[in-house]
Structure 1
């Protein structure tokens, strides 16, 4: 129980940025923001949170750069998906770009923030890591499939099979109170994807965005979305792991 408590505490600390975002969503759903649209207020809180985490050393400069990359990647995906009608941001905002508020990029950045923080706090190590070029190709294929499946065949199941084959031997080692545990990296993908799906239900409940079937009343997000988040987690994890792997080789 002591180990589980410590593990849960470190995980909670790693989710600091995500917790701030969801708390802001909940509060602004109940209370109106004065003099500033809701989406812009959330963006302001995200920027202040990032500044706070840098000043207090909760995040390193390298981690901030990774989070910035994810913000751009996520914003590009959001703009495309909103344009295709996959979901929408119905409220008014000064900071909207092509119908997407800039705070939405921080939702993806919060996933990267969690991965970076958990990696450092749990002293994560990976063994049997595949070739960097193979990881890069898989990450690119998964990301671009989010765009291309609107026009051609959806390769998500093939990409999942490719992920299992590529990372079949890959193991994640992490430490809790100096005791080392291990887990297949594929299982880690599934667990993180599932919990992000739970977070997505919370986010849509508080009006972070809307799916077409939630325009009149809130409904639970379809279970099929777990597979989408699973693929996004894989991309996020692979980018973070690849950057850390490259940096480790340089050092």
Structure 2
């Protein structure tokens, strides 16, 4: 954890010390900690989404600074704040920069193909793509690297990283290639199921270690991103062609796209945080409270 997160962790342990580990109250404590950790992992994306909504509701149409430029400046300030307050490490920043680059490259291509569009105002842009768009991909990367640390993720039967990297590369290429050749997304989706169907993710809440099928976690995160996308399009961050005459929910078919895009995100993060197997002494297979070094915090 970062320095600030260690301080928060120590304070949280003092507050939670003596709380029951089992029963209804124990469950309530674990549920509250899980929600707080997820919220903390989402801080970059949540702040960026809040800025987008605020710009939709209150940013004046006749302002000297274009709305898209204001969003870009706000995104840069959020990223600076994440580093200044030690919410992200330098190691993680490289992954987030990679998310930014790969996301911007896709944005340039997709807007040129008419898959979605942005308002034409502002000067902080590359072609038709305002620079704040890359930060939306960086927000996903920020969540991924932070959740790895906060929940101490472990994996049973994780597939070989070379195989996941090859599949992620094919998924990325298909986002471009399906405009010219057959769309292989269903084949790629089958490949994801084939690689990860036996994988179990173990994650720590406070005392409790929980486990869930990796594919189920993938689906849950894709759903969460799709919900955030609906808020962002409502806020006018970008629009799909069928939303130009009036906003409505993004097609649920986009869940498949987000599911596959998330695979790319997961694979990039695993090259910074290699997947680790459960620790039989102090990891998911131990009983709550059997990790003295951790629980004494």
**1:224 is the counterpart of 2:253:** yes
User: Secondary structure of 1:244's partner?
Assistant: coil
Q: Aligned-pair distance for 1:3?
A: 1.1
1:235-246 → structure 2 map (5 Å cutoff): 235-245=264-274
Gaps of 5+ in 2: 1-27, 278-297
The higher radius of gyration belongs to: 2
Q: Of 197, 201, 207, which residue of structure 1 is paired with 2:236?
A: 207
1:70-219 → structure 2 map (5 Å cutoff): 70-219=99-248
Q: Distance in 1 between matches of 2:33 and 2:184?
A: 39
Q: Distance in 1 between matches of 2:243 and 2:211?
A: 40
Contact 2:155–2:275 (Cα < 8 Å) also in 1: no
Give the corresponding residue for 1:31: 58
Gaps of 5+ in 1: none
Question: TM-score if structure 2 supplies the norm length?
Answer: 0.81
Q: Distance in 2 between matches of 1:207 and 1:69?
A: 25
**1:18 is the counterpart of 2:79:** no
CA RMSD of aligned residues (A): 1.5
Q: Aligned-pair distance for 1:246?
A: 8.4
Q: Distance in 1 between matches of 2:66 and 2:108?
A: 20
Q: CA-to-partner distance for each residue in 1:192-229, whole Å, 9 max, x for gaps? A: 00110111110000001011111121011011001000
Question: TM-score if structure 1 supplies the norm length?
Answer: 0.95
User: Secondary structure of 2:252's partner?
Assistant: coil
User: Secondary structure of 1:243's partner?
Assistant: coil
User: Secondary structure of 2:73's partner?
Assistant: helix
Q: Aligned-pair distance for 1:132?
A: 2.0
Give the corresponding residue for 2:75: 46
Aligned residues: 248
